């Protein structure tokens, strides 16, 4: 018998491939505002599931869903009552399973949002802790005894990030710690039962097929064991927490937890991934959270907090690249999220927001898009009677809060509520919303949606974009990023951004993509770049 050579019928795959998350584009869905599947005015899992083809068409790699758990409703779902149950507003655990299955079939991954720093005050642990100061549940939070003299002074000077003291009192006079609202008591991560419980939560969702988690307040969790005063007061206008918050943020023990969670992720045949919220001002400190055995991505918010200013953008990008290169981690880039006013309004025009997007999508590392930025949505002015955000109320109306970037998505211009829901949406949509609808933009070659789609396509195809090496320079109001593929081939791409008010001439051989329509092609190796535009060119 002649031996037939064995046929290799395995599907073609690149031999050496980086893990998917290194250069992934992740699309953040604010679940309550994305798509309503059952017509009650609230976004939900069936709605999101039905819109997955839209995300595939846009060209992202993964979707991150903001908290979906049974919640006390005090902070947009970031006050969790049950970490393994789905809020009935959003659907069921089976809906999550179905979402994951459909997403995987489309080549998309699904990240959920986990909230380990605190629970809801409605959580059964905290309820038990209130009822019995000597219970094991009470030992899972930070309780301090009632003042001996009966006075009203909190145990120390720690402040809530949403305003006011970080301590509130129980009916029996004890103090408990909450770095956010009083409805979000902080857990004590030095208690092993807390650690073990979160292992179980991670496994519960991973076993369902979920690909990873965005980790809320990943720079938090541990606090100074002696409860010493903070040297200063947190200011939300800063780039992030610094030494003034030394007692409540960035404690060394937190890195042990990320090593533990990373090992748990890596124990799966298809390793799961973690992206942590690391709001620290010092980028080299942020980088330490993304060391090879810790979080896969550590969000830094310097770019998110940069104004439309060439020096600010260029310095931030250069510093972040250095900080993440030092630990061999990809830099995660973010221009917008559910905590920050929309780019269009912050920068002053949709033109600028489009230019910033082109800049971000050229950079090596991962990019996080916030639902609606691909439509060029502006920040909405929410009537006071409709506001929901505790920041607005706890600051006595001094801080506008985050409702304006959490408005339900416009899908179809001519349908009621711009196609989000047959019922009145949970937050009102402004009058101009249908004009931004997806169905208006999908077929328009000049729309913001089309720009994002083209940029994501080019990023997939061109090895210098998204996963190459970058060097950043600034020439007056112009930011220049030179990008080369890691193996040097094919030749370099340059991203030019004109953040000034006058046109400039830049070097360019061919124009790959422009952030605004009407940018003329290069002549004799030069291209005229109007104010507030960006281009990708080869030189
Ligand atoms: C960060 C989240 O992004 C924000 O929305 C939330 O209010 C706080 N963490 C508290 O969980
Ligand atoms: Ca619904």
Kindly state which CATH superfamily the domain 23-119+191-454 is placed in.
Answer: Glycosidases (3.20.20.80)
The mean pLDDT value for 135-157 works out to 94
At residue 162, does pLDDT exceed 70? yes
306-322 average pLDDT score: 97
Check if the beta carbon of residue 472 is closer than 8 Å to that of residue 317. Answer: yes
Rounded Cα distance, 309 and 479, in Å:
9
Residue 9 reports pLDDT greater than 70: no
Q: Does residue 444 have an active-site annotation?
A: no
Given a contact cutoff of 8 angstroms between Cβ atoms, the answer to whether 511 and 533 are in contact is no
**How far is the C-alpha of 457 from the C-alpha of 305, rounded, in Å?**
27
Task: Calculate how far, in angstroms, residue 37's C-alpha sits from the geometric centre of ligand 2.
Answer: 5
Helix (H, G, I), strand (E, B) or coil at 325: helix
What span, in angstroms and rounded, lies between the C-alpha atoms of 328 and 528? Answer: 37
Q: What is the pLDDT of residue 50?
A: 98
* 488: pLDDT strictly greater than 90: no
Encoded tokens for 465: 């974009």
363-385: per-residue pLDDT in tens? 999 999 999 999 999 999 999 99
Helix axes 448-461, 350-362, angle to 10 degrees: 10
* 489-528 tens-digit pLDDT: 666 899 999 999 999 999 999 999 999 999 999 999 999 9
**Pick from 431, 344, 330: nearest CA to 379:** 344
| Rounded-to-integer distance, Cα 538 and Cα 482, Å | 10
Q: What is the pLDDT confidence band of residue 468, given thresholds at 50, 70 and 90?
A: confident
So where are the chain's domains? 23-119+191-454, 124-177
Q: Which of 272, 271, 275 is nearest to 289 (CA)?
A: 275
- Ligand 1 pocket test target in 29, 32, 75, 117 with most atoms within 8 Å of CB: 75
Active site residue 216: yes
Is the distance from CB of 227 to CB of 181 less than 8 angstroms? no
pLDDT at 151: 87
64 close to ligand 1 (CB < 6 Angstrom): no
pLDDT at 4 over 70: no
339 CA: nearest ligand 1 atom: 5
Task: Please determine, for residue 14, whether its predicted confidence score (pLDDT) is greater than 70.
Answer: no
Nearest ligand for residue 402 CA: 1
Q: Report how far Cα 300 is from the mean position of its chain's Cα atoms.
A: 10
Q: Which ligand ends up closest to the CA of 42? A: 2
Name the pairing type of β-strands 504-507 and 526-529: antiparallel
Question: Quick one: CA dihedral 232, 234, 239, 242, positive or negative?
Answer: positive
Residue with the nearest Cα to atom 11 of ligand 1? 78
The model's pTM is 0.95
- In this prediction, residue 495 carries a pLDDT of 97
Ligand 1 contacts CB of residue 277 (under 6 A): yes
CB atoms within 10 A of CB 401: 21
As a CATH number, domain 124-177 is 3.90.400.10
Cα(341) to ligand 1 centroid in Å equals 14
- Among all bound ligands, the one having the nearest atom to the CA of 48 is 2
The mean per-residue pLDDT over the stretch 328-353 comes to 97
Look over the chain and give the mean of its residue pLDDT values, rounded to a whole number: 94
Q: Which residue, among 499, 506, 503, 505, has the nearest Cα to 532 in the 3D structure?
A: 499
Do 23-119+191-454 and 124-177 share a fold? no
| pLDDT given for residue 5 in this prediction | 43
% of the chain exceeding 90 in pLDDT: 89
Q: Check whether 240 has a pLDDT greater than 90.
A: no
Q: What's the confidence (pLDDT) of residue 193?
A: 98
The predicted structure's pLDDT at residue 490? 60
| 216, 304, 399, best to mutate for ligand 1 pocket (most atoms within 8 Å of CB) | 216
Smallest CA-to-CA distance from 73 within 42, 106, 112, 38 is with 42
Contact in structure between 437 and 418 (CB atoms under 8 Å): yes
Pocket test for ligand 1, best of 33, 339, 395 (most atoms within 8 A of CB): 339
**Mean pLDDT of all residues in 404-410:** 98
The answer, yes or no, to whether residue 11 has pLDDT greater than 50, is no
| Dihedral sign of CA atoms 33, 39, 41, 42 in order | negative
């Amino acid at each position: 018998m002649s031996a037939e050579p064995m046929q290799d019928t395995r599907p073609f795959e690149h031999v050496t491939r980086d893990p998917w998350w290194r250069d992934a584009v992740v699309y953040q869905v604010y679940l309550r505002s994305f798509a309503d599947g059952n017509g009650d005015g609230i976004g939900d899992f069936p709605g999101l599931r039905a819109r997955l083809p839209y995300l595939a068409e846009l060209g992202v790699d993964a979707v991150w869903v903001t908290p979906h758990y049974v919640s006390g409703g005090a902070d947009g779902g970031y006050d969790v009552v049950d970490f393994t149950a789905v809020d009935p507003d959003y659907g069921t655990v089976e809906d999550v399973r179905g979402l994951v299955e459909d997403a995987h079939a489309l080549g998309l991954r699904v990240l959920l949002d986990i909230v380990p720093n605190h629970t809801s005050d409605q959580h059964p642990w905290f309820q038990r802790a209130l009822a019995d100061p000597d219970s094991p549940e009470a030992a899972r939070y930070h309780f301090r005894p009632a003042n001996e003299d009966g006075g009203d002074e909190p145990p120390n000077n720690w402040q809530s990030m949403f305003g006011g003291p970080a301590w509130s009192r129980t009916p029996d006079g004890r103090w408990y710690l909450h770095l956010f609202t009083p409805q979000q008591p902080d857990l004590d991560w030095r208690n092993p039962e807390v650690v073990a419980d979160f292992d179980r939560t991670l496994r519960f969702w991973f076993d369902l097929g979920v690909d990873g988690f965005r980790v809320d307040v990943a720079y938090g969790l541990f606090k100074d064991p002696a409860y010493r005063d903070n040297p200063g007061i947190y200011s939300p206008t800063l780039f992030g927490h610094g030494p003034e918050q030394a007692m409540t943020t960035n404690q060394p023990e937190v890195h042990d937890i990320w090593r533990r969670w990373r090992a748990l992720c890596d124990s799966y045949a298809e390793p799961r991934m973690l992206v942590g919220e690391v709001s620290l001002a010092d980028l080299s400190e942020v980088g330490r959270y993304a060391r090879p055995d810790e979080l896969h991505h550590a969000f830094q918010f310097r770019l998110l907090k940069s104004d439309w200013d060439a020096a600010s953008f260029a310095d931030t990008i250069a510093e972040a690249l250095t900080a993440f290169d030092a630990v061999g981690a990809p830099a995660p880039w973010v221009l917008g999220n559910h905590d920050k006013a929309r780019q269009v309004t912050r920068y002053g025009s949709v033109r600028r927001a489009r230019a910033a997007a082109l800049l971000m999508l050229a950079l090596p590392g991962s990019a996080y898009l916030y639902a609606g930025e691909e439509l060029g949505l502006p920040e909405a002015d929410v009537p006071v009677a409709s506001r929901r955000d505790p920041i607005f109320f706890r600051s006595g109306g001094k801080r506008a809060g985050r409702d304006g970037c959490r408005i339900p998505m416009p899908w179809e211009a001519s349908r009621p509520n711009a196609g989000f829901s047959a019922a009145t949406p949970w937050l009102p949509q402004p009058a101009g919303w249908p004009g931004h609808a997806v169905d208006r933009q999908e077929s328009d070659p000049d729309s913001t949606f089309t720009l994002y789609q083209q940029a994501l396509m080019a990023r997939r195809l061109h090895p210098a974009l998204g996963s190459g090496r970058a060097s950043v320079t600034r020439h007056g109001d112009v930011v220049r990023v030179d990008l080369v593929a890691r193996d040097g081939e094919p030749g370099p791409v340059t991203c030019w951004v004109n953040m000034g008010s006058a046109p400039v001439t830049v070097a360019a051989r061919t124009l790959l993509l422009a952030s605004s329509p009407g940018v003329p092609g290069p002549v004799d190796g030069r291209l005229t770049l109007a104010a507030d535009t960006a281009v990708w060119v080869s030189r």
